[in-house]
Structure 1
Amino acid sequence: MCTMVPMNRSRGRRVGRAAVAGAAAALMALVAGCSDGPAVSKARAITIVPLPDVVTAGSGGSFTVTASTPVRAKGGADAQAAASVVAVQLHLPTAGGSGSGITFRLDPAAGTRPEGYRLTSGSSGVLITARDGAGLFYGGQTLRQLLVVDGRSSTVQSLQIDDSPRYAYRGAGLDVARHFFTVAQVEQYIDEMALYKFNHLHLHLTDDQGWRIAVSSRPRLTSVGAGTEVGGGPGGSYTAADYRAIVRYAAARHVTVVPELDLPGHTNAAIVSYPELACPGDPTAVPYTGIGVGFSRVCTSKESTYRFVDDVVAAVAELTPGPLIHLGGDETKTLAPADYQAFMRRAIAVGRAHGKQVVAWDEAAADRPDLLQVWHPQNQMTSEVVTDVTAAARHGSKLLMSPADHAYLDQKYDASTSLGLDWAGFVGVEQSYDWNPDTYLPGTPAGSVAGVEAFLWTETLGTPQQLQLMALPRLPALAEVAWTPQRLRSWSDFSIRLAAQTRLWQAQGWTYTRAAGVPWQ
């Protein structure tokens, strides 16, 4: 075999330029004149997103995948699960036994990293090997991008890919509170995430405009609080069964659901449902369908408020098998700082008491949640927040990087974008891609960044098509930020590989924005 794109962790930017040369060549040879084997002629370009660590071109023939090509699993239930999901994605049958075809092999001694995989293809078939089920599934997503559809069959050239992620947490958030999205629509978003190897879905379940998750001990949260959304639409909510269905669908694609109950602000829908959550003298809460923020608060001096927090956290924690729960903490503009901190300290303790690690927005840094989500753009990051965030990181809080000027997918691409907002500035595709999470906040200790999360807020987005227009192509950009080592990334490489993704999006029936700066085909 001949190393085509030696994307090991010591070769740096030179590797990226080699990748771009291969991608730009489209149907030209990937390798010409390799000293350790014959050239691969008429090879298809490798345009994988996120960029893998190492791609090695083989000397053998390609493998043709037809509608009858079998998908097999070896090594147990995790291999079978990955094979089954990817077979459905590729519209291929599953089969037992051995032979040519596509094989998912679980091997604890494979030598791959956590969530990593090795994909080997040749004339006799494709073998994906990993030490865990997530790695097998991600190898399957890479295979989906390798297949070149010509209407009758697909081909995979002879090669080997060795790959693993940069960060353990690779998240995508979806706001279902401003506009409600059905179970099927959330599952479609999970499909988009899974293709690009995201592994956490952050569901923003509660806000001023609506409460979207049923709590049996507090039934008015959904019978009253779920009936509104931005613009006056009907709203909606998830039953316990609905939520479990989302969790199962996500888990089958190695996505962990992280539910958010936004407290103590962003709580108008909760207060409309239970007026006793307000403090005496506060304005009477009425259903809200606008997009303003910072006006609502629960009364942090009442013990009954903390009984409410315990009720809702207990209910959602019981429904959520994943280790995390998000308790908000952002944009509480009507509470004194001491009252805010006292509330967040108690709320975080409640989350931990129910067996969860707690995530909170960066305003809660002083209370040191387990995972601190950095959302402020740099030009709006106060010195106080920076000081608190870096102090929290030094004392053990991990950082989840979601700065709005790079990772908020609801921000307009440019001045011509009809959807979205622009309070964080325009966020083009290159802006989403070209940043380093480890150095975004100077002064944070090495190793404190747990991962990256893209977020799609829905003040102006009410349909799945609108979600896609804002997520694609920026969601893949954030995927590569989260997966690929920083030194292997460059915009010129990525933009060419990104443009080639439209073939797959069109095959899925997905829509996207032909944003500026990308050499669309």
Structure 2
Amino acid sequence: MGICLLVAFEGRPGSVSSLYARGYAVIPEPQQVKLEREDFRIAADWRVERGVGVEAGSPAEKIVRAGLEARHVFKLAEGGGGPAIRLEIHSGSAPMGKAQDKDREALAPQAYRLKLTKDGITLTANAPAGLFYGAETLVQLVKRSGDDWWLPEGEIDDWPDVEYREVFWDEQTHLDHLDVLKQAIRRAAYFKINAFTLRLNEHFEHASAPALVDPYALSPAEVQGLTDYGREYFVQVVPYLDGPAHVNFILQRDEFAKLREFPDEAFEMCSTNPETYRLLEGMFQDLIDATRGSTYFHLSTDEAWFIGKADNGVCHEAQRAKELGSPSRLWVEYTNKTAQWLKDHGRQAIFWGEDPMQAEDIPSLEPWLINGEVYSPAYNRAFRARGIRQIIYTNSLPDDPLFPAYYVLSPKDELRPGEGTSERATQVFNELSHSMARQQADIMGAGVYAWGDRGPHPETYWLGYAVGASAAWHPGSPDPHELT
């Protein structure tokens, strides 16, 4: 599906990129582009040539062949003496410049160099991931003019600004077919996204909690198949599970009502009930078993507003919070305990580090945790001092009903302007590109979320996702008006 990125952006206008000035477009925009004066034709007589480190049928070769055929309707030659697109992997062959992420060892495998001449194209990378991203750039770069396809002569050096770039796929209120989820993974890879965080809730067959499972839920084998499919595109499927809050899908069922924090509320689990941990650990294991090959697990600890306040016949959190010193410290105890279980079972926990946790309690968190968001300056500095790395979070669909607020009209031109509502794609671009947390926190990633609570179709997420992917890879660039 073609995606029209027609966005009205605020502030920070930039100069037109050299690619755009020549009629070419790539999303995300590469970090460094040096163009010669001439363009050259590419056609079906061109072929793929495998160099050092590249096996037949590599993901990069598949993208070059399939991408050119699907997008530009010509199939590369299998042999012959025509010009070659040469693919090579050499450690150290793709240089990198400045980046927000200080872990350059994590960035280097994703870097590539693309040399474009009329006599041949050479794509080199430090590792298979970089070769794949270079292939995606090459496929996007080809443009049609009349009956011919064209590329610019020149050289591209490219690398990501941060290691981890995720989109969140919310299956809370519906369930997509597997072929739709696979299409979403392919599209994410097209924009150089490398993590697909998936919330399934009751739409997954939890063997440890069969009472939760809907009749049409995805099986472990189906989710593992999706995970394996994602790895072919260098996209990691990351399981997402709420707790202790936002677990109505669990606590609304009679079998689990005993785990409630308050007897009449199904929003939040009791964090001092051993049965809470037994249930969650079983569900963790179910999701881990169905996403073998993934590194991360999103432990959704946000908005646990009532932790430490319950003192009733089924939950005695208030007493434990008093022993520890505050509800904030009880939240820390819950987070450390669940994250440690995940670590012991081979997963790196990404959590939401926010209120009701207080900044003064951040030193009590495990330093190997990853915070999935940036917060206030005091929190960000405390996380950095503790050694906890952070992901810049942005939300392209917070609470818009049915369709994200992608409108381009100024509020003064709207018939019924919404109070306090910003254009979502603008918001995504600015939050990822210009967050003050870039100076305060140890940033390792960017996350573009879109919540499904109010019933939007997932296809509506893609403008925000594409703009977010661009800003995550190359923040502040291109000039937003090029995203059309």
What TM bracket, shorter-length normalisation? 0.7 to 0.9
Residue aligning to 2:17: 19
Query: Which residue of 311, 316, 328 corresponds with 2:300?
Result: 328
Matched, 1:345 2:322: no
1:86 partner letter: V
Matched, 1:52 2:30: yes
Residue aligning to 1:239: 219
Kept after mapping to 1: 8 A contact 2:42/2:150 = yes
Query: Which residue of 351, 359, 363 corresponds with 2:350?
Result: 359
Residue aligning to 2:143: 148
Residue aligning to 1:170: 165
Structure 2 CA distance for aligned equivalents of residues 476 and 462 of structure 1: 17
Structure 1 CA distance for aligned equivalents of residues 218 and 386 of structure 2: 37
Distance 1:246 1:375, change over 3 A: farther
- Give the Å deviation of 1:147: 1.0
Query: Which residue of 440, 464, 468 corresponds with 1:444?
Result: 440
Matched, 1:85 2:70: no
Paired residues for 1:426-441 under 5 Å: 426-435=422-431, 439-441=435-437
Paired residues for 1:370-519 under 5 Å: 370-374=369-373, 387-404=378-395, 411-414=404-407, 425-435=421-431, 439-441=435-437, 444-445=440-441, 448-463=442-457, 467-472=458-463, 474-484=464-474, 486=475, 489-490=476-477, 493-499=478-484
1:457 partner letter: W
Kept after mapping to 1: 8 A contact 2:166/2:447 = yes
* CA RMSD, Structure 1 to Structure 2 (Å): 3.4
Query: Which residue of 200, 203, 211 corresponds with 1:205?
Result: 200
Give CA deviations for 1:270-323 in whole Å, capped at 9, x if unaligned: 2345623634794468xxxxxxxxx51223222122111221112222332121
Structure 2 CA distance for aligned equivalents of residues 80 and 311 of structure 1: 37
Distance 1:181 1:423, change over 3 A: farther
1:413 partner letter: Y
Give CA deviations for 1:116-151 in whole Å, capped at 9, x if unaligned: 111112223322111111111111111122111358
Structure 1 CA distance for aligned equivalents of residues 131 and 424 of structure 2: 32
Provide the secondary structure at the position in 1 that maps to 2:23: coil
Provide the secondary structure at the position in 1 that maps to 2:116: strand
Kept after mapping to 2: 8 A contact 1:79/1:105 = no
Give CA deviations for 1:165-216 in whole Å, capped at 9, x if unaligned: 111111111111132222211222222211111111111232xxxx222222
Provide the secondary structure at the position in 1 that maps to 2:436: coil
Kept after mapping to 2: 8 A contact 1:406/1:432 = no
Residue aligning to 1:308: 279
Residue segments in structure 1 that go unaligned for 5+ positions in a row: 1-12, 26-43, 228-235, 286-294, 500-521
Residue aligning to 2:84: 101
Structure 2 CA distance for aligned equivalents of residues 94 and 311 of structure 1: 52
Q: Which moved more, 1:403-412 or 1:342-351?
A: 403-412
Kept after mapping to 2: 8 A contact 1:405/1:425 = no
Structure 2 CA distance for aligned equivalents of residues 139 and 439 of structure 1: 28
Residue aligning to 1:258: 238
- Give the Å deviation of 1:443: 7.2
Provide the secondary structure at the position in 1 that maps to 2:372: strand
Kept after mapping to 2: 8 A contact 1:167/1:482 = yes
- Give the Å deviation of 1:261: 0.9
Provide the secondary structure at the position in 2 that maps to 1:127: strand
Residue aligning to 1:70: 47
Kept after mapping to 2: 8 A contact 1:79/1:104 = no
Structure 1 CA distance for aligned equivalents of residues 227 and 378 of structure 2: 36
Distance 1:361 1:275, change over 3 A: same
- Give the Å deviation of 1:152: 5.0
Structure 1 CA distance for aligned equivalents of residues 119 and 113 of structure 2: 16
2:43 partner letter: V
Kept after mapping to 1: 8 A contact 2:251/2:260 = no
Distance 1:79 1:351, change over 3 A: same
Structure 1 CA distance for aligned equivalents of residues 249 and 231 of structure 2: 29
- Give the Å deviation of 1:159: 1.8
Query: Which residue of 108, 118, 130 corresponds with 1:135?
Result: 130
Kept after mapping to 1: 8 A contact 2:261/2:269 = no
Give CA deviations for 1:457-510 in whole Å, capped at 9, x if unaligned: 1123454xxx333322x32321222111x5xx35xx4234211xxxxxxxxxxx
Provide the secondary structure at the position in 1 that maps to 2:281: helix
- Give the Å deviation of 1:327: 1.1
Kept after mapping to 2: 8 A contact 1:83/1:94 = no
2:29 partner letter: L
- Give the Å deviation of 1:372: 0.6
Structure 1 CA distance for aligned equivalents of residues 226 and 59 of structure 2: 17
Question: TM-score with structure 1 length normalisation?
Answer: 0.71
Kept after mapping to 1: 8 A contact 2:43/2:76 = no
2:15 partner letter: R
Distance 1:280 1:186, change over 3 A: closer
Structure 2 CA distance for aligned equivalents of residues 274 and 102 of structure 1: 61
Aligned residue-pair number = 419
2:469 partner letter: A
Distance 1:345 1:278, change over 3 A: farther
- Give the Å deviation of 1:71: 3.1
Provide the secondary structure at the position in 1 that maps to 2:272: coil
Distance 1:121 1:342, change over 3 A: same
Identical columns (%): 22
Residue aligning to 1:506: none
Bigger relative contact order, structure 1 or 2, given CA contacts below 8 A and separation 6+? 2
- Give the Å deviation of 1:350: 1.2
Give CA deviations for 1:37-95 in whole Å, capped at 9, x if unaligned: xxxxxxx42322222122222356513223x6433433234982221233222223574
Structure 1 CA distance for aligned equivalents of residues 437 and 419 of structure 2: 20
Structure 1 CA distance for aligned equivalents of residues 136 and 345 of structure 2: 35
- Give the Å deviation of 1:242: 1.2
Residue aligning to 2:289: 318
Structure 2 CA distance for aligned equivalents of residues 280 and 145 of structure 1: 51
